[in-house]
Structures are given as C-alpha cells and as structure tokens.
Amino acid sequence: MATAADDVVLARGRAALDALDPGQALALAVSGGADSLALLLVAEAWARGAGSRLHVLTVDHGLRPEAAAEAAAVADLARARGHGATVLRPARPLPRRGLEAAARAERYALMSEWCRARGVPALATGHSRDDQAETLLLRLQRGSGLDGLAAMAPSVPRDGIRLLRPLLAIGRADLAALTRAAGLHPVDDPMNHDPRFARVAVRRAIADLGLDAAGLAATAARLGRDRDAIAAVVDRIARRAFRLSPWGVARIDTRAFADEPAALVERALGRLIRAVGGHDHPPRRDRLDRLAALLSAAPAAGFPGATLGGCRFLAGGAEITALREARDLGPDLVLLPGASGVWDRRFRVTAGARAVTIAALGARKPEGLRACPAAERRVLPAVFADGDLIAVPALDFGTPLGVQLRYCLENML
C-alpha cells in the first residue's frame, strides 16, 4: 500500500519529467531492478497527466543464464501495464576486459539507436541519488576535474537524443519502498554484488566507512552549480568566437580568445568540437590545451591546420574553419519511405515517399553544384535514391523528394 512518502517520491520524479512536451513519447531503460521499476512507476504517473506514451527498453547482455528470462519478464510486465516493450541484445560478445564500462556503453548505444530509428526524442534511466554519490567517488578516484566531479546531470543530449535521469534527487531506499508498495518484484542481479566491479566496491566502501550518500550527492550538486557558472562564461566566449552553420561547419575568430584564461578557451573549444564532431564527450584537456595554444599562436593565415575529436581545423582567410573529419564520418543511413533516423550522430533525417540513403557527398561534383571549398564539400550530407545523387540540401542542389534533414547539435554551442 502506498504511503505519503511514496506519494512524495512519485511527485518529485514526475516533476523532473515535466520539462518534456505533453504528448511526447518517452523510452525507459528498465532492467528489472528496484530503481528501474520505480522509474516505470514515476513515468506512468507523468504520462497519465501528459497524455504521453511509454516504451520500455531492456538490454539482455547474455552474461548470465537467467538474463534472457529476466528480460522477457520485464517486457511482459511492461506490456501488461499497457506499454510497448523491446528486448535489445548486442550483436557481438562483450570483452571480458573492462566488462563494466563496455556493457554500459553497449546499453546506451543500443537504446539510443532504437530511439533514433523510431523518432523517440528522449530516454529516461533510473539513476538515483546513491548512484550520483558513487559516481562522484569513482571519478574522484580517476582524477577527474570539475566537470567529472559534478557527476551526472538530470538532462543531457547524447547520441542525437535527450538522456533524462528524473530520479537523481531520490535515494535508493525510497525507490525500493515505492516498488514494494506497488507490489512489483525486482530482479536482484548478482553482478550488483560482485566486488570485482568498481561501482560495487565503491558502494561497499560508502557503507563500510559510514559515508552519507545524500551528502556526497549534495557535493556533486554544488560542483554542478560551479560548473554551470563557468559554463555561462564559456557561453559568452563561444558566442564571440564561433559561428556554426546549419550544416555543421564552424568559423572561428581567434581574436575572441585574447586575454581569456586558457582553461575557459579549452572548454569553449571542447564544446565546439562536440557540436561539429558529434561525439558525446570533448577530447582530453591536454589535447585541447595544445589546440588552443596552436590557434592563439598565429593569425589565421599562418595556421598550419590540425585535427582533433573527429574535427578538422583549416586556415581560411581571417578565420579558422572547423568541419567534420572525413575519415571519422558515420556509416551511410538507409531510410525506407517515411522512416526517420540520425546520420553521423549530427543530422536528424526523415524520408519522404521514397526510400533514400544519406551519405557524405565526398569527391562528387555534379554539374550545377554551387561552389564550395573541397574540404567542406566532402563531408556535407547528400541524398541518394537508387544509387543516384538527387540532392545536396546545403548547396541548394537537386530535389530532395520530401526528405527533411536537420542539424541536431546546434544547442551544444
């Protein structure tokens, strides 16, 4: 039976989802553990008021004999409660070395790909306040800087979708109580008790040392506020220094870096590289430091060029051009009529009445193509049908046959 405390948990989690538009579809990462089942309950309470549909995603890594049956049980539960459900499985075995990190990366990759392919804009996970505390200590152990120690954000763009963590302010014990009150029976994965995994070891250390998970999470939150304050200054630098086109090509005015602290310039460049390169994380700070020094050392005309984070930096008159590195481009995107997807982690595409393929224009230069520097032309998205080039929207070439193509990383700047 639900208690007043359970109602508070539901209200806090539901409020964290209210930033989503009413009617917006939401995918849920549900493993069957108590936290993820609590996420299901919270999302149901939100969806009833928002008129939204939910789809439960469960990943079966095949690491235990019971995993397939547990994943099927989660899918059955979701369908019985009126939601869509899908069990996802990796196409290849996970490496035994670094298993914890590899499994996590594979989960996000599978679920993000599912969301992109179906036009679902957001994925919610069941990370709790205790997970936040553990993440802080894990990153402290690894020597992370401010961004890392600020730990997990409640909302962040990732792989072309928005990743939400609506339970970050709620303790694991409260989530377990909510699950019990609803009569749900969580799966207890023995891997969550295996001290060979770093997170399990940190979880035990918190208990053995009597550390307060709420206090650690509050520290991460304060560091997050500091990070946000620095980000506001970086915003101003980025607005002065960068111009990003709707096709993912940026112009850099290095004069905007003058008299700015190196650490802030590095952060601004890291943000630019994520926007142009499409990766989830910026390059390492030492590499950003070298790039910042190179950009600031000489006028644009004397810049020798550089590559970093899937981006290529080229001299171009009074400015530096930053564009996608051709060898780092993602695979071609094949879309059936009316289908949607994301090409190269940067462009959201919806096909019209005809099947199309989205790929880089490359070295092609058909008659009538508007003039464009060769390096930029090579990495522009182009539309193909039946093997023929039919359109290059960035250069107003051809007829895209109803294809809608939009750059989806502009908000990173």
The CATH number of the domain where 204 resides is what?
3.40.50.620
CA distances from 363 to 315, 369, 378 (A): 20, 12, 6
* Nearest Cα residue to 235 out of 108, 412, 367, 378: 412
pLDDT at 165: 96
Which positions ≥6 away from 126 have C-beta within 8 Å? 29, 30, 31, 33, 35, 36, 37, 38, 39, 167, 175
What percent of the chain shows pLDDT beyond 90? 55
Last residue of a domain, one of 293, 326, 359: 326
Mean per-residue pLDDT, 76-85: 97
- What the block records as the tokens of 279 is 């990766």
Residue 79 has pLDDT above 90, yes or no: yes
| Domain assignment of residue 230, yes or no | no
Is residue 348 scored above 80 in pLDDT?
yes
On the question of pLDDT at 45 being above 90, the answer is yes
Please list, in sequence order, all residues whose beta carbon lies within 8 angstroms of the beta carbon of residue 375, skipping any fewer than 6 positions away: 312, 314, 321, 323
Residue 139: the pLDDT is 86
Global pTM reads: 0.70
Least confident of 21-25, 27-31, 145-149: 145-149
Burial annotation 2-39 (CB, 10 A radius, 16+ → b, else e): eeeebeebbeebbebbeebeeebbbbbbbbbbbbbbbb
Looking at the structure, do residues 138 and 287 belong to the same domain, yes or no? Answer: no
Q: According to the model, what pLDDT value does residue 236 have?
A: 94
Residues 163 and 282 in one domain: no
Residue 302 lies in a domain: yes
Q: Outline where 251-315 has alpha helix (H).
A: 262-277, 285-297
Question: Does an H or E element contain 312, and which?
Answer: strand 311-316
pLDDT value at residue 159: 74
Residues 9, 63, single domain; the answer is yes
pLDDT of residue 327: 93
Residue 238 to residue 242: CA distance in whole angstroms: 5
CB-based contact 277:325 (threshold 8 Å): yes
Q: How confident is the model at residue 62 (pLDDT cuts 50, 70, 90)?
A: confident
- Looking at the structure, do residues 398 and 274 belong to the same domain, yes or no? no
Among 164, 189, 211, identify where a domain stops: 211
Q: How confident is the model at residue 172 (pLDDT cuts 50, 70, 90)?
A: very high
Q: Please give the average per-residue pLDDT across 322-344, as a whole number.
A: 92
* pLDDT tops 70 at residue 2: no
Q: What is the mean pLDDT of residues 253-272?
A: 91
DSSP conformational letter for 370? P
**Cα(first)–Cα(last) distance of the chain, in Å?**
47
Distance CA 159, CA 279 (A): 8
- The per-residue pLDDT for 298 is 64
Tell whether the model's pLDDT for residue 295 goes beyond 90.
no
pLDDT greater than 70 at residue 270 = yes
17 lies in the same domain as 152: yes
Residues 148 and 76 in one domain: yes
Question: What pLDDT, on a 0 to 100 scale, did the predictor assign at position 87?
Answer: 96
Q: What is the CATH number of the domain that holds 278?
A: 1.20.59
Q: Both 356 and 402 in a single domain?
A: yes
CA distance 339 to 349: 8
Q: What's the number of domains the chain is made of?
A: 3
Q: Which domain holds residue 407?
A: 330-412
Mean pLDDT of 86-97: 84
Residue 380 has pLDDT above 70, yes or no: yes
Q: Which pLDDT belongs to residue 117?
A: 86
Q: What is the pLDDT of residue 269?
A: 95
Task: Please say if the pLDDT value at position 96 is more than 80.
Answer: no
